[in-house]
Amino acid sequence: MSLLRRSADRVTVDEAHRRTQGPDAVAVLLDVREQVEWRAGHAPGAVHAPLSRLTAGVALPGAARARPLVVICRSGHRSRQAAALLAARGADAVDVTGGMRAWAAAGHPVVDERGNNGSTA
User: Is 90 an active-site residue?
Assistant: no
Backbone angles phi, psi at 42, to 5 degrees: -150, 170
Cα-to-chain-centroid distance, residue 102: 12
The length of the chain in residues reads 121
Closest CA to 1 of 70, 59, 73, 88: 88
Which is catalytic among the residues 8, 13, 32, 73? 73
Catalytically active residues, by annotation: 73
